Chains A and B, each alone.
Chain A
Amino acid sequence: MPPKVACVGIGITEQKSKWELTLPALYRRAAKLALEDAGMKWRDVDSIVIGNSPELFEGVNHPEKWIGEAVGGYGKPLYRVHTGGSVGGSTTIAGYVNVASGMYGVTLALSGNKLNDCAHATLGLSTVYDPILGRYNFAAGAVSFVALQARRYLSKYGYTERLGALVAVKNRVAAGRNPTAHIKVPDNYDVDMALAAPLLSDPLRLSDCCPQSDAACAMIFANESRARDCRGPVAWVKGACAVGEGLYYAERDIAVPIALRKAARTAYERAGITNPLEELHYVEVYDAFSYQEPIWYEGLGLCEWGEGGHLFESGLTQRGGKLPANMSGGVLSSNSIGASAMIRKAEAALQVMGKAGARQVPNVSLALGHGWGGGLQFHTLMIFGRDP
């Protein structure tokens, strides 16, 4: 059995269009929020892990070299993780591993991006495409690549655009209760309004897509004895896993995330979960685009392949339902890429700690946070519980 590790403090900066702070200063803000939340000081931190996604967003190579000293890294063990959109998740896992390895008692994990330091973030993102196989000819940006996934999902299982609109409504309205969320919608936001939004890349409408945000998130992990010293509630790590699948392999179906299925099975095994739909009380999935939410339900094994849309339509994952999902507003409402996969885990942990404010779901003692990255390839998961 691996040693018990808890998340003892969380800091999420406001997720917005342009933070008038440098990248290091933005990370520092998240770090300070987390330290305050944990009731800890800089000197209590033994090691640091920094996540940041494609350097071409902020235009600084090895950005942890610049960020490190602003987050208490001077003289401390520190390294960087980068797995694209899932970086927040990989960094969270690396933070957990730092402590679970027995090498450190308290680790500060931080992840973020300032998409808006890049004057043209979609152009920056186009560098994810292979230069020989398509970047300069038809690099599609994130939107169009995921649009292919959405189109495949709809045609494979017979759902309609209405499904995307329903997801958009749930998450965008939920964002109203989240003080850090980027995009807020009017109270009367409904399916018709979502369906009236302009098409960006068919079938994805503006309402189906995430914004470009600047944000940073920090999570502090501690071993059992340091966690027990903390005054407030903590969230124990019950299981974590990150699995990747190939980018271009022949039998690939981007609407069937087999890597997520594998990651979920492994994480559930580690957490002792046999029936996730029954046993989990809360879920945060990385819904950069609306249709992804039901697809990720399937990958998480909450339902069979193809049933994600029906699960959504059943209302089970709405506020007040059996397994609320993305009450933070999700990535659909705020997406800095770098922080987003960590924020999914942070939101899950906050729910377990009872610190989710107006978006708190009652009686959450087991929650899961997900993240994806790369060419819809890397999936990261962390499950938190109230009990060690």
Chain B
Amino acid sequence: MTERVAIVGWAMSRFDTALRHLHREELVHGVVMDLYERTGLGPDAVDFVCDASDDILDGLSISNTGMIEAAGAFLKEETKIEEDGAFAALHAYQRLRVGTYRTALVVAHGKVSESSAVTYSNTICEPFYQRPLGLESITAHALQAQRFVEAKRATAEDAADWVVRAHANGLRNPHAHAARALTADDVMKSRPVASPLRLHDCPPLSDGAAALLLAVESEATKISKTPIWIDGLGLSHDLHYIGHRDLAEGRSVREAAERAYAMAGIRRASEELDVAEVCGHFSYQDLMLLECLGLCETGGAGAFARSGRFPVNPSGGALCADPIMVAGLVRLIEAARQLAGQAGEHQVPGNLRRALAHASSGLCLQSNVVFVLQKGA
């Protein structure tokens, strides 16, 4: 039986609308050096490096060519997973389960300020049916939100309340660069973007990078006093064309969650987990995720969030900082921080034992990964 795998270190760069003073390689280098400083380790301690970035976002094909030096991967085993960093973490986890490697460094970056979020998401669409109609992240998620509301699973008020709560959390998180004090009225009166989405239902534009260190059990206990075990992991994939599926079903979220819960032995998520970080990029999407991840029943997301009885996105989530290709990895880091008691001002109080982290890839939750984390034994 191979060893368990734990998260033993992490680092996040500053997130901001434009990190103009840093070349993308400097950004990555900085976050990796930060991780080494925090863990007291260096490149020698890393057996395998897994980076994540997007060529079209970077405007550079084979965007990891410069990452070998930047991530300290010189003459190391390395690969690039071209999805959100959370999926690179998944691959790194798999590597460590093989038993050949003892530690793995995951690093993801995205500088949307150097490119265009619309180009990034419009080009995800196949070229024949969706791309010529200008479908991209905002319009696609507007259609998903509209379907969710029509199915009576949430209201505009629910979404507004969620945004207010997210930003209030974000104000306690120095990385949540876009967080501000909002009222529900502010949200519901903000500029219409693509119905039903208004400005505050949408994520900010963010540059950023993040790094994560994973280790097998015998190594983890040497590196960290609070290793955070990855107890459950699930991944799934849905149809591509936006009209070929029910956008409000969230099928691949449910499948990913089921797989992660089965692996971790979780039967009732809201009772057996203590905190969740979910990577919705829009208010309605976060609410939909609460249902699809099994935290609340169908149609109950608004009430569940308002009840405040289960902490979701104490970091503020992607609504407060949304670095493309990184936001999901950040959810994993934030969930780990909560369990480790290292979330600073946005720490959820109490003895937290198990956490959920979710990330997605593609439009409208097409592909999803779910992690179940545990602190302690």
Contact = CB atoms under 8 A, between A and B. Distances in A.
Interface stretch (A54-62, A152-160, A319-327): A54-62
A62 B61 contact: no
A337 B97 CA distance: 30
A67 B82 CA distance: 14
B239 A101 contact: no
B125 to A, nearest CB: 8
A141 to B, nearest CB: 12
Interface string B10-53: 00000000000000000000000000000000000000000000
A124 B367 contact: no
A244 interface: yes
Most buried by B among A97, A130, A375, A378: A97
A333 B74 CA distance: 31
A186 interface: no
Contacts of A62: 54, 82-83, 124, 361-362
Contacts of B348: none
Given A75-B255, A79-B81, A245-B75, A55 B59 contact: no
A246 B74 contact: yes
Interface residues of A, number: 64
B123 interface: yes
A244 B98 contact: no
Most buried by A among B64, B235, B236: B64
A292 interface: no
Interface in B69-106: 69, 73-83, 87, 90-91, 93-95, 97-100
B2 interface: yes
A374 interface: yes
Contacts of B59: 127, 131
B76 A54 contact: no
A105 interface: no
Given A1-B99, A62-B362, A247-B69, A54 B91 contact: no
B98 A74 contact: no
B78 A243 contact: yes
B237 interface: yes
Given A59-B123, A81-B82, A103-B97, A130 B237 contact: no
A177 B289 CA distance: 54
A73 interface: yes
B223 interface: no
Most buried by A among B78, B82, B87: B82
Contacts of B363: 65
Most buried by B among A47, A65, A74: A65
Interface in B122-138: 123-124, 126-127
B240 interface: yes
A80 B90 CA distance: 12
B62 A100 contact: no
Contact of A84 (B62, B74, B126): B62
A29 to B, nearest CB: 18
A76 interface: yes
A266 B363 CA distance: 39
Nearest to A90: B79
B98 A69 contact: no
Given A60-B127, A90-B79, A102 B235 contact: no
A375 B64 CA distance: 10
Interface string A97-109: 1101111000000
Contacts of B97: 100-103
Nearest to A380: B79
Interface string A244-281: 11111100000000110011001000100000000000
Contacts of B91: 79, 81, 94, 97
B377 interface: no
Interface size bucket, B side?
Answer: 35 or more
Contacts of A76: 236-237
Nearest to A70: B240
Contacts of B81: 79-82
Contact of B56 (A61, A241, A373, A377): A61
Contacts of B69: 246-249
A68 B234 CA distance: 17
Interface in A364-380: 373-375, 377-378
Contacts of A242: 77-79
A125 interface: yes
A363 to B, nearest CB: 29
B240 A68 contact: yes
Contacts of A54: 55, 61-62
Given A54-B55, A69-B239, A97 B62 contact: no
A241 B234 CA distance: 26
B61 A56 contact: yes
A56 B55 contact: yes
B155 interface: no
Nearest to A69: B239
Contact of A68 (B66, B76, B237): B237
A246 B73 CA distance: 8
A262 B75 contact: yes
B307 interface: no
Contact of A56 (B56, B237, B240): B56
Nearest to A47: B235
A62 B2 CA distance: 32
Nearest to A124: B61
Contacts of A73: 237
A360 interface: no
A243 B77 contact: yes
Contacts of B2: 101-102
A75 B251 CA distance: 8
Interface in A39-98: 47-48, 53-56, 59-62, 65-66, 68-69, 73-84, 90, 93-94, 97-98
A128 interface: yes
A66 B244 CA distance: 12
B206 interface: no
Contact of B99 (A2, A84, A374): A2
Given A84-B65, A247-B68, A377-B65, A79 B77 contact: no
Contact of A375 (B65, B90, B93): B65
Contacts of A128: 60-62, 65
Most buried by A among B236, B238, B240: B240
A100 B91 CA distance: 12
Contacts of B82: 62, 80-82
Contacts of A48: 237
Contacts of A101: 2, 93-95, 97-98
Interface string A121-136: 0001101101100000
**Shortest beta-carbon contacts, A-B, top 8:** A54-B61, A84-B62, A101-B97, A77-B235, A61-B123, A101-B94, A82-B82, A127-B61
14 contacts: A2-B100, A62-B124, A62-B361, A65-B361, A66-B240, A77-B236, A79-B91, A79-B367, A84-B65, A94-B79, A103-B94, A128-B61, A258-B75, A259-B75
